[in-house]
Structure 1
Amino acid sequence: MFWSLVSLLLVLLAIRLVVWLVRSFVAWLGRGPLIHRAAEGRNVPEDVQVAARLLEEYQVEKAVGREVGKRPRLTHRQLRLVRHAEKVVRDDYVDHLRISAYQVVILFVVGSVGGLLLEEAWMYVTAGLTQSRVGLVWGPFSPLYGVGTVLLTIISLALRRKGAPWWAIFLVSMLVGGLLEQVTGWGMETFMGAVSWDYSHVWGHITKWVAVPFLFFWGVLGLLWAQVVTPWILQLIGEPTTRRQVAFVGLLAVYLAADISMTLVCFQRRAARDAGVAPRNGFEEWVDEHYSNEFMSNRFQNMVIEGVSGATTA
């Protein structure tokens, strides 16, 4: 009992340390104002200006409250006004935001990590499986979710700006999710000799990689993403306002490109080894030594690689 409490305390301390490190790093990168480039070169509507001033006053009160150790207390009406102001400013900001590589890289990372964690939690709850479901050789990334996050964000933003009805967003999200699963599943099996999921035995399957229940899931996810997540996450990411932000995201993009390239090489060498093809140069010898069949099976436990499964597939 004593050691269990000690372990729990250590875990809580570790979580607090990680949160503090992340906050400190984000603060070091720097953060620009909420309304920045999205407001340049145009007349900001009066209601947005009023909302922005209200939020600025609220932020000043919060800052003063932190200094004196007493947070400002707001009535329910004041809280509603603040939340409404946040929504007005956020929607205006997002509706005029120009998506660039900066946002795309961050969205890919957030989607890759978040999707992986959700999938592993879902498999544990529904099937009792605890297995590595990563999609790249380095880091906790699942690129399928990363690409899906980027596509859903860009498409939902375009649909929002055109005032598309909810059913149109739902149908488009179904189409995008189905095409993404089909292209990814087919590409993995064709070029990498790997199968990460197989819907052949699922009710309503259309192809090996596409099934009606999961199309419905993509539709619901896309609808929620367009109405709730897209404005919030794009506001949170914002635009680069410091050189440190640009440099960090640039290095992150280089790392991801190297990770994806190395993953493709490892799968190609895995298939070549299974076919009895010897390495052609020193680099392929190094890959075979450090990324052996055993490593690949342990790393990608939910995949079937050239007919050899590390674990049960989804």
Structure 2
Amino acid sequence: MVYSFYQLLWLYMIYSFIGWCGEVAVAAVKRHRFVNRGAVSGPFCPIYGLGAAVVAVFFPELKGNPLFLFLGGMVVNTFVEYVTGRIMEMSLHKKWWDYSDQKFNLGGYVCLKTSVLWGICTVLMIYVLNPVFTGLVGLIPKLWGEIILWVLFGLLIVDFIGTVIAVWGLKKKNGRIDQIREGLGRTSKLLENTMTRRLQARMIKAYPNLEKEEKEDVFASGCGFYKLACLFFIGAFLGDITETVFCRFSMGRWMSRSSVVFGPFSIVWGLGCAMLTWILYRYREQSDRRLFLCGTILGGAYEYICSVFTEIVFGTVFWDYSKIPFNLGGRINLLYCFFWGFAAIIWMKGIYPFLSRWIEKIPVRIGKPLCMIMVFFMSVNIALSGLALDRYSKRHDGLPAKNAVGELMDDWFPDPYMEKVYPNIKFR
């Protein structure tokens, strides 16, 4: 069953409320009192709504296989929960849940027990709950249903903004020492007189290394935006080359494996490298076995999400593993998931440290502008690729261009060109 956007919004709100009720009930049993366990003040836990939306979008096609449905829901929702937890902590400077006291946890963001629970809930939602809830939603007049959704989402957004402000205020309160330090620094600057500034200028002129040490700045240090952006471009290029060579030896012919209309870049590989680095950076010193397990699970979940996303957005299938044993809907298979695991070890232990050192050697005045130019180029490239694929799909269905943009895509990217760039594409 393919759910409409209207139904997905209702499922998001319903499960957000159910999740909040469940969290409150568990907290009441443990603490013998009412505790609002939501990330916002209202009766909603958005992470549950997000998980429900993910299940409704990605897993109806697995309804005929309960085991794969359970495994898929377990893996993909664990991936979503981990990424959501990391982003919320990074943006709000607060960890909203912590499984550090649970066995088999990863950074306290996910653990085996909750992952299994996600799998069980996925099966229940697909077979029982979602049909019931969508049936009840269908009883509400469409106009009234839309009004209720607008009101609920408006309240949720206002509530979330208030929560963010409150968290930042708490951080500001706890960071009073830093404020005092900053105030002392400003006072020191006000007290600085002309003689002191001249003395500093003379010292710097006499000993230029002092200024160099003070102003030295490393491009893309740590695991920030510029480092991840560089890794995205490198990973996208190397991934395309790797797949091209693999196809040459496995299929006996050269073929394009690019995701975009300009250049040899595989977006799935680029995003995979950047995301894998972002997730595993803090675990890079841990054992190979742990990295392999994380890479296998996270890589498989990531590839599955990309497969469904591209099919929903572009109406096309870029890869199909239906003929490979132990596959999940033809989107991922066990062998390639193991490849993700080995890739995680090789990447974090060998390739990443080497690339990181070379990236950081790029001068800041060159690295930052070049990086932003590449980001702009790739953004335009991806946008054009999406428009070209949309027209390619519509031409396949015999639909003519309805506007100037469509006609331009037909002229710039005709069928022979698209067949050369995307030789394995399938339409559904």
Same fold (TM over 0.5): yes
> In 1, distance between residues paired with 2:249 and 2:318?
19
2:411 partner amino acid: E
1:155 and 2:294 correspond: no
SS, match of residue 249 in structure 1: helix
Per-residue deviation at 1:267?
Answer: 1.0
Output aligned runs, 1:25-40, within 5 Å: none
1:213 and 2:311 correspond: no
Gap regions ≥5 residues in structure 2: 1-217
Q: 1:265 aligns with which of 387, 403, 417?
A: 387
Q: 1:247 aligns with which of 346, 358, 369?
A: 369
Q: Name segments (4+ residues, structure 1) moved above 4 Å.
A: none
> In 1, distance between residues paired with 2:328 and 2:311?
17
Per-residue deviation at 1:240?
Answer: 5.9
1:140 and 2:260 correspond: no
> In 2, distance between residues paired with 1:244 and 1:270?
38
> In 1, distance between residues paired with 2:270 and 2:230?
9
Per-residue deviation at 1:159?
Answer: 0.8
1:170 and 2:292 correspond: yes
Would the aligned equivalents of 1:102 and 1:239 in 2 still touch at CA under 8 Å? no
Q: What RMSD, in angstroms, separates the aligned Cα atoms of the two structures?
A: 2.2
2:243 partner amino acid: E
- Matched with 2:143 is none
Aligned residues: 211
Per-residue deviation at 1:97?
Answer: 4.1
Structure number with the bigger relative contact order (C-alpha 8 A, sep ≥ 6) is 1
1:262-314 deviations in whole A, cap 9, x for unaligned?
Answer: 1111111222233343323222211112212222112211222x26xxxxxxx
Under a length normalisation based on structure 1, what TM-score does the superposition of the two structures give? 0.63
2:416 partner amino acid: E
> In 2, distance between residues paired with 1:240 and 1:126?
37
1:288 and 2:418 correspond: no
1:229 and 2:340 correspond: no
2:322 partner amino acid: S
Q: 1:196 aligns with which of 302, 318, 329?
A: 318
- Greater CA radius of gyration, 1 or 2? 2
Would the aligned equivalents of 1:102 and 1:246 in 2 still touch at CA under 8 Å? yes
1:130 partner amino acid: W
SS, match of residue 332 in structure 2: coil
Percentage of matched positions with identical amino acids: 23
- Matched with 1:113 is 237
> In 1, distance between residues paired with 2:269 and 2:324?
21
Output aligned runs, 1:20-99, within 5 Å: 97-99=221-223
Per-residue deviation at 1:137?
Answer: 0.4
> In 1, distance between residues paired with 2:290 and 2:357?
24
Would the aligned equivalents of 1:240 and 1:246 in 2 still touch at CA under 8 Å? no
